[in-house]
Amino acid sequence: QVQLVESGGGLVQPGGSLRLSCAASGSINRINAMGWYRQLPGEERELVALITSGGNTRYADSAKGRFTITSDDVQKMVFLRMNSLEPEDTAVYYCNAVLNTYAGGRYMIYWGQGTQVTVSS
């Protein structure tokens, strides 16, 4: 059983910063990629940033220049540093991982439960 647990969400003022963390646990063999998605109120879930095992990164246009994704493959964690936060960033942020376990060789997609980020003055 694989679990992804997010932390670091909360309320922050516009222009402030926040760092989200996600820890993967379970019988994980290899992680191919980890990322962050968010779901704005009334909107579909959308990609914020991702990072592959090779270190390649991808950001949504809204995140470029403000957000930075990093990972620790040994600790099986991924982080999202968010700077210059705006009210429009208010959303539930979800951790995502593409990985396989020792029991099964195929890669599968896993999701965390989400953490609320609220940007308001």
Q: What is the pLDDT of residues 37-73, one digit of tens each?
A: 999 989 999 999 999 999 999 999 999 999 999 999 8
pLDDT value of residue 53: 92
Tell me 74's DSSP state: T
pLDDT band at residue 1 under the 50/70/90 scheme: confident
pLDDT band at residue 104 under the 50/70/90 scheme: confident
pLDDT value of residue 103: 87
Residues 49 and 36: beta-carbon distance below 8 Å? yes
Burial degree of 35 (CB within 10 A; 0-12, 13-18, 19+): buried
Q: Which of 41, 22, 48, 46 is nearest to 114 (CA)?
A: 22
The token pair that represents 14 in the structure block = 């516009």
List pLDDT tens digits, range 17-38: 999 999 999 999 999 999 999 9
Q: Give the three-class secondary structure for 3.
A: strand
Residues 20 and 4: beta-carbon distance below 8 Å? no
Strand duo 10-12 + 18-25: pairing: unpaired
Residues 69 and 79: beta-carbon distance below 8 Å? yes
